[in-house]
Amino acid sequence: MAVVLAGHSYGKAENRVVRFQRDTPRHEIVDLNVTSTLRGDFADAYLTGDQSKVLPTDSQKNTIYSYAKEKGIASVEGYALDLARHFVDDVEPVTGARLDVDSYRWTRAVVDGAEHDHTWTRSGGEVRTAAVTVSGKGAAQEAFVVAGLKDLTVLKSTGSAFKGFLTDGYTTLEPTDDRVMATSLVAQWRYDEQALADGFAFDAAYDAVRAAFVGQFATLDSLALQQTLWHMGTAAIEAVPAVVEVRLAAPNKHHFLYDTARFGVENAGEVFHADDRPYGLITAVVARDDVPAAPLAWER
């Protein structure tokens, strides 16, 4: 029996990059968490300790911070593309690079009724994400851009049912025509090649996809969370033609009607117990049928 090194990669995880735009009295802020992962023939570093092909993770960190100034951060996807292409094109042993970016929101502080030029409060809500993969050299190079969000918590108090489901000897859940639906959505969507060209409006595309998700969640008279995810993914692809594949994961944040009748108090669908676990976890992949699958885009 032989033992082999079956796979390897390395990088610098969770670089907290805060970039201010200070060209005018009204400053702007971008707050990121950036992780780089490099692939190539680095086997000797593992097998013999030879580091001659290894670009230190400290160098990757320095590049991540310097590029925030050198290239700027017009969009998180564009910034990640610049970094991934640099590592593959300019560092000879590197054959593939992945950049994962989380973007955190800040809201301008309001002072005396007006937005302040250089003070913010950290916003709640979702975290914007981006994962960019660049692989190969020269004309054979492939690049994939996967945008996304996580922790988008949405809830509606009506317009959701769950009935007609399979039952067995362990089923205790009662069917319902009207229930609270809530989830903390995780979504990722892959763009086609037009998004790799300079000038693609990543920020506008993100806003359109997010609006499609929220709009479908709010307006669909849903028979199941599964149905809602299908409509969300379809609406995103229809809203942004460059989106070719959407992956969704939705924990079902259960709300159970609290029994106040035992206290002589009527509860007509007004008071609920929010139960955080265990929870149903629903996932879906919605894709255009005219675009080939791209496993490398999702590979970590």
- The residue from 53, 57, 156, 234 that is catalytic is 57
**Catalytic option among 86, 231, 253, 254:** 254
The Cα 77–Cα 228 span in angstroms is: 27
117 is in an annotated binding site: no
Is 57 labelled a binding residue? yes
Output the six-digit token pair for 296: 């490398």
- Is 57 labeled as catalytic in the residue annotation? yes
Candidate list 12, 86, 231, 253, residue with the active-site label = 12
Question: Is 300 among the annotated ligand-binding positions?
Answer: no
Tell me, rounded to whole angstroms, the distance of Cα 185 from its chain centroid: 9
Q: 207 labelled as ligand-binding?
A: no
DSSP letters along 17-54, please?
A: EEEEE-SSSS-EEEEEEEEEEEEES-HHHHHT---TT-
Q: Is 61 a catalytic residue?
A: no
254 part of the active site: yes
37 is in an annotated binding site: no
Reduced DSSP (H G I as helix, E B as strand, rest coil) percent helix, strand, coil of the chain, to 5: 25, 35, 35
Residue type, 76: V
Strands (E), the chain: 15-21, 28-40, 94-104, 106-111, 114-122, 127-135, 142-156, 181-191, 243-251, 254-257, 272-275, 281-287
Q: Which of 239, 228, 234 is nearest to 206 (CA)?
A: 239
The token pair at 3 is 């033992």
d(CA 223, CA 293) in angstroms, rounded, equals 29
Confirm or deny that 98 is annotated as ligand binding. Answer: no
* Integer-rounded Cα radius of gyration of the chain: 23
Nearest to 35 by CA among 60, 18, 54: 60
Could you list the residues known to form a binding site for urate, using ranges.
Answer: 57-58, 162, 179, 226, 252
- Residue list, annotated binding site for 5-hydroxyisourate: 57, 162, 179, 226, 252
Catalytic site residues? 12, 57, 254
Binding-site residue positions for O2? 57, 252
Binding site listing: 57-58, 162, 179, 226, 252
